Amino acid sequence: MASLKLKHIYKVYDGGVKAVNDFCMDIEDKEFIVFVGPSGCGKSTTLRMIAGLEEITAGELMIGDDVVNDVEPKDRNIAMVFQNYALYPHMTVRENMAFALRMRKDITEEEIDKRVQEAAERLEIVQFLDRKPRALSGGQRQRVSLGRAIVRDPKVFLLDEPLSNLDAKLRAQMRTEISKLHKQLQTTFIYVTHDQVEAMTMGTRIVVMKLGVVQQIDTPTNLYDYPGNKFVASFIGTPQMNFFDAKLKKVDDKIEITFANERKIVVPAETFVKAKPEYLDGETLVTMGIRPEDVHVEEEFVSSHEETALECNVGIIEALGSESILYCELDPENDKGTESTTRLVLKVDPRSHYELDQKIKVALDSKRIHLFDHETEESIMPRIPKENQIEGVVKAGVVDLNGIKFNLPEAIKLEDGEYKFIVPSDAFFFDNDVNEDESFEDSKYAEAFEELKPHFASKGFKNPVHPLAHNDFSYSAPKGDKEFKVLTIEEVGKQKLLRLAFGNKSVFAVGNNDIAQDAKTVKADIDWKKVTVSKADEVVVERLNLYNVLDSQMIKERTDKKTFNFGLAVADKELYTNDFIQEKLFNAAGRKVFDIKLELDFSPYAVKFADKGFDGVVTKILDYGKEKFAEVDVKGKLVNVLLRNEDVKVSSNVNISIDICTVGIVEADRGIRVI
């Protein structure tokens, strides 16, 4: 039994193919994870890296509590099942199943027999134990290879397209058997397939990949209901979702959708409450999606949904037995065949009767309409909307947002007038916010810091910067203190999405999971550092940059003794690093490590003034009321620093130190996150 952590995993093959790009995922014990996506998207490569059959270019793989990047495949306590079974042809089924156990010295012959027998019974292959693989069918061979994995009692099962070589009927049967096996064995399964039906029916969570990049990780139902982009929407579900170019226009409490040759349907504005207003201007092109099963032809539905009703002509009829698929044409005069942008596919009762070219009336289920940005193809109704746009009137430093008054902090100085305030949904403090320190989960960082201390006294570097301990960066998060009425609460992953009554309108606010599901009110406040203000579409106040970046390079210096100090050259000084950072850099870049351009990134909370730090000059003081920051020029790069009661002024010379325990490092040219 084991959990797995994949942290910023990359695979770059010789020749430069980036097969896997920044794969991040926590897999819990006993999950059934499916990697799915078209051929070449990097599924197998990821699985093979977990198995240890492929080297990890950058990133960290943990099985249980251990980092296993450098652990031999045989010592990872995993078992892999391959598409082509990979059985030894000259051995019997029994010998094949026992083979890996015989290699181990710690298991008696008696125990091996027992395990093989048990697995064979479980898989119903007892009668074949003394046959050779060639005397078995494809399905039976795949059972043997499953059996060979089971007898090893691994912590993690890896399955690479195990059913691809089987015929459709057997595949369906084996799908249920593998799911059953997962339940019985109570271990973690990771399963690779290009078949979305396998993914949807077997996975507790699914990872959809495309061109080496994870598109979405979610439960089957959530992927189906809330696809994050058009690719996921089109990949999950058969027949594929219908897509149309469309324009949306808000008219009072309705939204008109114009699509496919000026056809118009109308839905309640509430349906698209999560979409940004600029998409609702009647001009911006979006992609509308509707699944074939959400287009209804039943008379009762159509007559009660006149506002989303459409007429179309029946083209192809595909009778599948359990259901029929109608390929209809909204614009029969201009039918351009399968490529048509006016084609509408729907599912109907197989017992109903339709004729070619018959005119039918259908209606769309407006709650099931999906919308995507026409260019980026990202959903424009993400489960957690990114921001709220609020019109505000400023008078003498006080802003009126929908009838609620806020004193504007010093950092947001505005002349009297009307402005648009863009308040991200994560820009709210709550009174139950805790000082979560998510990026700092491993004590090994702290240990690594302790390891550094002896280096401080050595004389390797000319201008060394001494890092501070992680604890020196602790701070206490501000709390919200204004009462808001809660309209709705939706649980999304580990977060709560709240819709708060906000004056005469409402706002979306992301809160922590401790907020009670039935909370009627919450205490909250706006986190002004994340707010952008614009006037007549010109940004007049930018949000605070929370992502500091400094250029760097790995260096080494001989110490007094005949050893080396390794460090990072940053802003004309040298930052001591620990073995942990060095190891990662060496692993990713090999001997080229001293020649490559690196970028260190860190938040304003992971940097502070310190005696032996980088030289900088304060260029701005940004007072947000509950928090204050200094903008510091470090050799031409601007760095934002949280002020912890330090008394500095513009033009003050300062030294700053960064928290090496939480710093991120990107290898700039290849765009690979090393840490």
- Binding residues for ligand ADP, how many (CB under 6 A)? 12
Nearest of 666, 660, 581, 664 to residue 614 by alpha carbon: 660
CB-based contact 370:381 (threshold 8 Å): yes
Which of the ranges 43-51, 100-108, 123-131, 136-144 carries the binding residues for ligand ADP, by CB under 6 A? 43-51
- Give 48 or 230: the residue with its C-beta nearer to ligand ADP: 48
- Is residue 44 involved in binding ligand ADP (CB under 6 A)? yes
- Is residue 42 involved in binding ligand ADP (CB under 6 A)? yes
Which of the ranges 41-49, 165-173, 370-378, 432-440 carries the binding residues for ligand ADP, by CB under 6 A? 41-49
Structure tokens at 358: 């018959």
Helix (H, G, I), strand (E, B) or coil at 537: coil
CB of 233 to ligand ADP, least distance (A): 19
Which of the ranges 35-43, 144-152, 180-188, 299-307 carries the binding residues for ligand ADP, by CB under 6 A? 35-43
What is the side-by-side strand order in the sheet with 309-319? 295-296, 359-364, 309-319, 324-329, 343-348
Nearest of 477, 490, 504 to residue 404 by alpha carbon: 504
How many Cα atoms sit within 13 Å of 147 on the Cβ side? Answer: 33
For ligand ADP, the binding residue among 9, 19, 206, 550 (CB under 6 A) is 19
Using the structure block, give the residue that is written with the tokens 């080297």: 55
- Is residue 208 involved in binding ligand ADP (CB under 6 A)? no
- Is residue 39 involved in binding ligand ADP (CB under 6 A)? yes
- Is residue 55 involved in binding ligand ADP (CB under 6 A)? no
DSSP state of 341: T
For ligand ADP, the binding residue among 22, 33, 43, 554 (CB under 6 A) is 43
- Is residue 13 involved in binding ligand ADP (CB under 6 A)? yes
Helix 109-122 / helix 93-103 crossing angle, nearest 10 deg: 130
- Give 125 or 199: the residue with its C-beta nearer to ligand ADP: 199
Return the residues of window 444-503 that contact ligand ADP according to CB under 6 A. none
For ligand ADP, the binding residue among 4, 22, 45, 190 (CB under 6 A) is 45
Using the structure block, give the residue that is written with the tokens 């048509």: 340
- Is residue 411 involved in binding ligand ADP (CB under 6 A)? no
Q: Buried b vs exposed e over 143-154: b needs ≥16 C-beta within 10 Å?
A: bbbbbbbbbbeb
- Strand segments, DSSP code E, in 239-323 are 242-251, 254-259, 263-268, 281-290, 295-296, 309-319
- Give 45 or 313: the residue with its C-beta nearer to ligand ADP: 45
For ligand ADP, the binding residue among 3, 25, 40, 466 (CB under 6 A) is 40
Which of the ranges 9-17, 99-107, 136-144, 277-285 carries the binding residues for ligand ADP, by CB under 6 A? 9-17
- Is residue 548 involved in binding ligand ADP (CB under 6 A)? no
- Is residue 191 involved in binding ligand ADP (CB under 6 A)? no
List helix spans (H) across 164-309. Answer: 168-185, 196-202, 220-225, 230-235, 299-304
For ligand ADP, the binding residue among 2, 41, 200, 554 (CB under 6 A) is 41
The answer to whether the Cα torsion of 213, 219, 224, 225 is positive or negative is negative
CB of 144 to ligand ADP, least distance (A): 23
- Give 13 or 564: the residue with its C-beta nearer to ligand ADP: 13
Nearest of 453, 456, 673 to residue 585 by alpha carbon: 673
- Is residue 17 involved in binding ligand ADP (CB under 6 A)? yes
Which of the ranges 37-45, 336-344, 390-398, 463-471 carries the binding residues for ligand ADP, by CB under 6 A? 37-45
- Is residue 622 involved in binding ligand ADP (CB under 6 A)? no
CB of 588 to ligand ADP, least distance (A): 18
CB of 11 to ligand ADP, least distance (A): 8
List helix spans (H) across 203-324. Answer: 220-225, 230-235, 299-304
What is the side-by-side strand order in the sheet with 653-658? 637-642, 628-634, 607-623, 653-658
State the CB neighbour count (10 A cutoff) for residue 318. 12
Q: What pairing do the DSSP bridges indicate for beta strands 495-502 and 482-492?
A: antiparallel
Which of the ranges 10-18, 21-29, 348-356, 614-622 carries the binding residues for ligand ADP, by CB under 6 A? 10-18
- Is residue 215 involved in binding ligand ADP (CB under 6 A)? no
Contacts of 180 (CB under 8 A, 6+ apart): none
- Give 41 or 97: the residue with its C-beta nearer to ligand ADP: 41
The site for ligand ADP (CB under 6 A) is made up of 13, 15, 17, 19, 37, 39-45
